[in-house]
Amino acid sequence: MGNMRKHRYPAGGRGKIKTVAQRTLKQPINCSGIALHSGLDVKMTIRPSEVDSGIVFRRTDITGGGALIPARWDQVTDTRMCSTLGNPEGVTIATVEHMMAALAGLEIDNAVIEVNGPEVPIMDGSAAPFVFLIECAGVVAQDRPRRVIRVLKPIAVDDGDRYASLAPGNGFSVSFDIDFDSAAVSRQRISVELGNGAFKRDLARARTFGFLHEVEELRASGLARGGSLDNAVVISGDKVLNEGGLRYDDEFVRHKALDAVGDLYLAGAPLRGHFYGQRSGHGTNNALLRALFADAEAWCYDELRSDEIEASVGLDIWTGDRAPTGAIPATA
């Protein structure tokens, strides 16, 4: 999957610059909840894991080696309504994006997520409950440098209606545009530079959302059986039906950005670059990762340096209405 390239420091540098250590949980922690689409009650445990093991899901209701499903872009088997991972044995785990977003936002490199069913619990429809669980478990540094994926040139996918791109840059930022006919949503834009608690502050509490007529159609198709006003923002016409209203004025676009953070963490390591999405969904986000890794000149592995954490704060965020070159059809 591309070449391992080390960062070269400019002449006159002041000695060796420290790298940032990988992180995992200090101890296991568990929860239970309802699965959004199947409606099943499921139990989940997040466990610490060894260095360089990455994020792995394990189906505890499946026996043998087929229970393990690596959280990677090339394991994505379905992107309708959520991101679903699968392994060669045909075992799947669905609705992983909010869990992955929390792991990305809290910079967890290695963990095993055990689930006793085919879907991660939806909790309240956001990533906040997973952030809470990780913080309760505690985080510990490990004795290996954190590996990152540097974006080296612009990559984009475009199907005419949905668009997503990655561009080189320090740090990791997410910019997103949405535009709906409903006055409850309308047009919204957000740009967030991740780091220094930005994920927890600006994105984690944003809930998944849908329109009432879509929910009825999904249930008729056997989906969204666990969906309710307790775990999703539901819109009817131009009104939000949830009694408490919205958590942010622009909660809708914030949740789309949250989804993108989770989908992009399926790269297998943190990205260093700028993401821009325009009505992008799980399929387009996965297509973007596939386009990135298909071009060996577009990315490289590197070790995260401590000086980068400080240097990335306050940078202008690349939004790019459309990437100048390299857009390919989004087929996923």
Amino acid (1-letter code) at residue 220: A
Helix (H) or strand (E) holding 278: strand 271-278
Pick from 92, 94, 101: nearest CA to 126: 101
> Of 37, 98, 255, 282, which one is the catalytic site residue?
282
**Other CB atoms within 10 Å distance of the CB of residue 300:** 18
Question: What is the token pair recorded at 293?
Answer: 């890794």
Helix (H) or strand (E) holding 328: strand 327-328
- For residue 156, the cross-strand partners are 165, 327
Residue 71 CA to residue 66 CA, distance in Å, equals 14
Q: Would you call 282 a catalytic residue per the annotation?
A: yes
Residues 6+ apart with CB under 8 A from 223: 37, 81
Residue 296 CA to residue 300 CA, distance in Å, equals 8
Please list the active-site residues. 282
